Each structure stands twice: as C-alpha cells, then as structure tokens.
Amino acid sequence: MSTMHANKIFNPAGDDTIASRTIIKGDTTGLFNLNAVKYQWAKSLYQVMIGNFWVPEKVSGLKDDARMFQSDLSPEEQKAYKGILSFLTFLDSIQTVNLPHFNDYITSPEVNLILSIQAYQEAIHSQSYATILETVVDSKEREEIYYFWRTDKILLERNKYIGQIYQDFLDTPTDANFFRGIVANYLLESLYFYNGFAFFDTLVDQSKMQATGRMIAYIRRDELTHVTIFANIIREIKNEFPDIYDEKVIRSMMRTAVKQEIEWSTHILGDRIPGINGETTRAYTQWLANQRLEMLNIAPLYPDAIDNPYKHLDRLQDTNSDKGNFFETTVVNYTQSSSMNGSWDF
C-alpha cells in the first residue's frame, strides 16, 4: 500500500482544473479557487454550516439547570450527565486537533474549506461543554469529569480505540491507514455521540435540564453536517479510488463501534434512567448503525433493527423549530445532490 503525502503549501506546478481535481492525491497549487467547484455537495454544506453559526454564550437558562441538577436529577441521572459530558468532551477535543491533519491530504479546496469550518465548530462544542460544566457542576468535580477516563476502564478503552486509529495514520500515512482514519471520523460523527444526545433529549422530554438540551440541539445540528461531509468523502473515494475503498473495513469498524457504543452506554446509563434501558440502547444503536450504512449505500448489519425505539425524539423540536428528523433528512439529501446553483453567499 502506497504512502500518502501531505499537500504542499504552495505548488506552482500544480493543476487546479476541475478535470484533474480529485478528493485525495490531487496535484493542487494550494490556491483556494472557490469559483471552480467540482464537489457541489461541499458548496451546499458550506451554506448550511455558515447558516448554523452559534456560540454557547447565547444559550440562556443554564443557571436553572444548575438548580435542577441538584434538586431534580436522581444520583443515577447525575452520574450519567457527568459521564456523558466527559466522553463528548473527549470526542470534540480529539476532532478539533485531528481534523487539520486529515485535511492536509484532501486535494479539493471546497472540501478543505468545510473541513476547516468543521474544526472550528468542534472547538465551539468543546467550549460549550466547558460552559455547561462551569455553570451546572460543582467546581470540585470538573477535573474529575474531564479526566474520568483515568478511573473508568471502559471509557479509557473507547478513547484509546479512536485515538489510536488517528495516531496510526499520523505515524504511518499509508492509503490503508488514511481510509481507516476517514471511516473512524465517520463513525465518531455518526454513531458515537448519539446515545449521549438521546440521554439529554430524554431529560428534556421529561422537562428536565432544558438549557443543556438546547445546547445539545445546536451541537447535534452541527454534527449532522459533519456526518454528511464524511459520508461524501467516503463516497468520492469509492468512485475515484476503488483500490483504496474497502467495504469490509467499513462494516468491520462499524460492528466494533456498535459493540463499544452499546457497552459504554449500558455502563453509564444502564437501566437506571427513566425511558432508557439496556434493550433500548442496543436497539437504538443498531438501528442508527443501519441508517449510517445506508448513507454509504451499504446493506444493514442488523436486519432486525428497523425501528427507532426512542419515539420521543420525533416529538422534540430542534433549535430552528424544525423536526430533528426532518433536518437530518434534509442534510443527508445533500449527499445525493449534484447541482446547487448560485454563489457561495446567501
């Protein structure tokens, strides 16, 4: 398997024409010529991502959540709240740091652009979790939450798994390690967050921790665009570099991700949270995995997982007053769009 090479900062001999452009392994000048766009889905996503701009300081009500955290949440809900925030903080931290490394190997300026926006959004998400912890959780517990993986073996193994895949590519940038890294990005964005999100949505459905729920809704809205970015990158690799694309790798890594997600979510949530139990966790994770594979035109791993067990998620409105599932469907449809006319501006 050949070694990949990062883009040069400036390559006067490069060729930026649409005809020669590829998602990876292209020969670009380093200039962002955004008037010549090959991947229209990137242009579409740019407009969505810019339109989704937000900052955590604009989300009100966290002080109410701080009071409710102490008075209304059970000890089991408090433990889950803190443990899930620990995992989500790790995921967005590692994405903020790692995305530029992979972006160095993408040879399409329009895709480079949206990956840069994604890295910025991941940093905003990390700030959001810090804001939640600063406002809701006692200061004596914050360090314990950030470094919960030091004392929790299951969380440590989860963090090590995804971190090692990224590190493998940095240490040995082969085609195979790049593809595994891109798939890992897809799994992180499309599967790893979502039992945590479901927990916060379940609290909101029970009229608890409403401000935290609003913050999570903004974050989830961003993450859905990130899912779509990596779905498209994988699809373009399949189209342009079939020798690098490997469906067996995707299915194997998805199966591992599902196993780890169920193990971790059962560990931190168990059967102790009203509306959530081991069976709903398993069913939801497998159903979601099938949905994410479908975005890649891959057959389901779990044929019996045909329904989302969390019916209350359909009742919750996202921050734009559109149904979350409607928004997700809309974003996913960009993977199938080959044309969106107009400028980069709104």
Catalytic residue among 46, 81, 105, 129: 129
The helix (run of H) or strand (run of E) holding residue 82 is helix 75-103
How far apart CA 333 and CA 228 sit, in angstroms, is 9
Q: How far is CA 204 from CA 3, 200, 201, 315, 318, in A?
A: 48, 6, 5, 11, 12
CB–CB of 49/222 below 8 Å? yes
249, burial (CB in 10 Å: exposed 0-12, middle 13-18, buried 19+): middle
For tokens 């900052």, the residue is: 55
Nearest to 111 by CA among 292, 236, 244, 294: 236
CB–CB of 176/1 below 8 Å? yes
The helix (run of H) or strand (run of E) holding residue 80 is helix 75-103
Q: Which residues of 177-212 are buried (b: 16+ CB within 10 A; e: fewer)?
A: bbbbbbbbbbbbbbbbbbbbbbbbbbbbbeebbebb
How far apart CA 154 and CA 270 sit, in angstroms, is 14
46 labelled catalytic: no
Residues with catalytic roles: 129
